[in-house]
Amino acid sequence: MTKAIGLFLLLAMLVQIIRPLGYPGLKKRSDCWKIAVAAFVIWSIVLLIRP
């Protein structure tokens, strides 16, 4: 499951570079890094919550 989520995030970043998604904060092609930062923050929170 984690590999599927990782692939989904990579796909979202690739789509953002090719054609911006248009969501608030993701209007430009160069905003691809925001997806990576959000994924890292969520991953860190999950690691802290897990026993």
pLDDT level of residue 1 (50, 70, 90 thresholds): low
Single out the residue of 1, 2, 4, 6 nearest to residue 35, CA to CA.
6
pLDDT tens track for 15-46? 888 888 888 887 888 888 888 898 888 888 88
| pLDDT for the residue numbered 5 | 81
| pLDDT for the residue numbered 46 | 82
| pLDDT for the residue numbered 40 | 87
| pLDDT for the residue numbered 26 | 79
What's the burial of 11, exposed, middle or buried (CB within 10 Å: 0-12/13-18/19+)?
A: exposed
